[in-house]
Amino acid sequence: VSSSSPPSASVAATAGPPPATDGRDRTAVWRYLRMLGASADEADDLAQDTLLVALRDGLPAEPERARAFLRGIARNLWLRTRRWWFRRREREVAMAVEQLWLATAAADDGDALIARLHDCLDGLQGRARQALERHYRDGLPWPQVAAELGMKPNGTKTLVQRARQLLRQCLERSGP
Amino acid sequence: MTTTTTMQVAKERQLDWLLEEVLGARRGAAVRTPPRAIPWLAAAVALFAVGAALGVAWLRAADERSMAQEPDQTIPWHGCHGAGGIDEVPADVSALRCFDFDDAACARLAAKASALPRLTHLDLSGMDVDARGVSRSLPITDAGVRALAPFTGLRWLSLEQCHQMKGEGLQVLEAMPRLEHLDLTYSGVTSPALERLDRLPSLRTLVLSHCMDFHGRSLAAVARLPGLRRLELQACTTARPLPRTRGRLAHDACELRHGSTCATARVASAGRPQAASRPVAKSRRRRPCRTASASPTPSSQPSRRCRSRRCCSAAASR
């Protein structure tokens, strides 16, 4: 069962070479992969692979360079899982994600973003909040959400688009 | 994709991740997997295969159509009447039809071969008529055929009506590597001469109709012609091939697509059609038989075209 929470277990607690990364790095890599578009399961696997590569090759001494190195490995592994005819587009998106990550989440691995989204969600009420919760929390598909809310699918789509726009604006307003 | 668009996509994915992490999503896969392209690829491959098959079939049909049984009427034929007309033959002639030629005229024409570099079609079967309207018999013999040796670029040669030509002179054709069509109708070609024809690798059409001086066993040598596609044996009443020859024809002449054998000899004792009267390949454009009673029986026709050696072996064994 996939989980939307980042894994907290540290890597390489066994004998052998000293661990090059800690659990914080794994969380950062996992979130970065999720931001790239990976599902929770994919992010689990790719984060594991990323850290294995880092253990094998070693990491730079400086923390910032080490994080950038890990993100580079994760990005390449992610792109490798994409089909080759979508890889060019995905590479462009990955570059944009890298910029966005550096601008919004690199300092604390996204903790502040998550906290801000909690606040923003508190300001979202009514059917928009209900639709988001039924879909993201309970995993219902959008047509079923629309049926529960007594709306047409297109109406739900518009409602969710507006809610997401509000959340984005809220995040940008409250951001650094 | 522009930078703004990619940044929008990145922000959408960031929001997806955040919502799923904050609200505790039970499902993953934020990136929508595009529909698989494999069915389209398979459809494209299948379409290409069908197109290729149709193209090959069309080309083969066009190839059959292009095999000229008669001189191609689209070719501008130049007529040459007797030895006296040789001097008037233009240098750029490609198709020459000669009337009332004899050995001397052939030798004289051959002496001018270097001046006719584009000549590829030569028809020596033309006969003028005398004052009474009766066509004269052609006096061309093997000596006249031997004189054609300088025309090494010939692709089409007709020696029809050369009754006195026994075939010894056909050896000169071995020096014509591009020769594709050879018409020996009403000639006196004999078995030894036919058995040497397998040295003509480019020959695709061979007309032996109304030749009555060769034995059917010579057809085994004809069957060895690698590219032979059309064989006409109409009214070859003396061709009495052995059963073994029939097998060789069926086995070797795999490229044969048209065999015309009307009024050809039969084996009276067995009551079955001879190899010559039993085409080795399905004749789809067979000429109407002049003598209905002598036409091959329908049961003697193979039911399918002979395309592969395996198929030919099966046909031979039938």
Express each pLDDT in B34-60 by its tens digit: 556 678 888 999 999 999 999 999 988
Q: Which of B51-65, B165-179, B262-276 has the lowest mean pLDDT?
A: B262-276
Q: In 10 A of CB B318, how many CB atoms?
A: 8
Among A42, A83, A86, the residue with its CB nearest the CB of B28 is A42
Place of tokens 């294995």: A52
- Burial zone of B267 (CB within 10 Å; 0-12 exposed, 13-18 middle, 19+ buried): middle
% of chain B surpassing 90 pLDDT: 13
Place of tokens 């064994």: B317
Q: Which residue has the higher pLDDT, B16 or B309?
A: B16
CB contact (8 A) between residue A137 and residue B9: no
Using the predicted structure, report yes or no on whether residue B285 has a pLDDT greater than 50: no
Closest CA in chain B for residue A44: B28
Is residue A19 within 8 A of residue A28, CB to CB? The reply is no
Task: Tell me the two tokens of residue B66.
Answer: 């292009």
Overall average pLDDT of the A136-149 stretch:
88
CB contact (8 A) between residue B26 and residue A139: yes
Overall average pLDDT of the A2-16 stretch:
48
Q: What is the pLDDT of residues A43-52, one digit of tens each?
A: 999 999 998 8
Measured between beta carbons, the chain A residues lying within 8 angstroms of B29 are 39, 42
Question: What is B177-198 written as a DSSP string?
Answer: TT--EEE-TT----HHHHTTGG
B34 at A interface, C-beta within 8 A: yes
Q: What integer pLDDT is reported at residue B55 of this predicted model?
A: 93
Question: What is B126-160 written as a DSSP string?
Answer: E--B-TTSPBPPP---HHHHHTTTT-TT-SEEE-T
- Mean of the per-residue pLDDT values for chain B? 74
Measured between beta carbons, the chain A residues lying within 8 angstroms of B27 are 2, 39, 139
Using the predicted structure, report yes or no on whether residue A108 has a pLDDT greater than 90: no
Using the predicted structure, report yes or no on whether residue B229 has a pLDDT greater than 60: yes
Q: Which of B6, B7, B12, B36 to mutate to test the interface with A (most CBs of A within 10 A)?
A: B6
Strand, helix or coil at B211?
A: coil
Among A89, A100, A139, the residue with its CB nearest the CB of B27 is A139
Q: In 10 A of CB A46, how many CB atoms?
A: 25
Does ipTM surpass 0.90 in this model?
no
Using the predicted structure, report yes or no on whether residue B72 has a pLDDT greater than 60: no
Task: Tell me the two tokens of residue B261.
Answer: 């054998």
CB contact (8 A) between residue B21 and residue A4: yes
Q: What phi, psi does B97 have (nearest 5°)?
A: -110, 120
Q: Where are the alpha helices (H) located in A17-108, listed in sequence order?
A: 23-36, 40-57, 63-81, 84-104
Q: What integer pLDDT is reported at residue A98 of this predicted model?
A: 93
Q: What integer pLDDT is reported at residue B52 of this predicted model?
A: 95
Using the predicted structure, report yes or no on whether residue B267 has a pLDDT greater than 70: no
Using the predicted structure, report yes or no on whether residue B268 has a pLDDT greater than 60: no
Confidence of residue B222 (pLDDT cuts 50, 70, 90): confident
A16-35: buried (b, 16+ CB within 10 Å) or exposed (e) per residue? eeebbbeeebbbbbbbbbbb
Overall average pLDDT of the B172-184 stretch:
90
Distance from CA of B47 to the nearest CA of A (A): 22
Overall average pLDDT of the A73-89 stretch:
88
Overall average pLDDT of the B164-180 stretch:
89
Q: What phi, psi does B229 have (nearest 5°)?
A: -120, -15
Is residue B233 within 8 A of residue B239, CB to CB? The reply is yes
Distance from CA of B34 to the nearest CA of A (A): 9
Closest CA in chain B for residue A36: B13
CB contact (8 A) between residue B11 and residue A41: no
CB contact (8 A) between residue B28 and residue A2: yes
Sign of CA dihedral A42, A48, A52, A58: positive
Is residue B115 within 8 A of residue B140, CB to CB? The reply is no
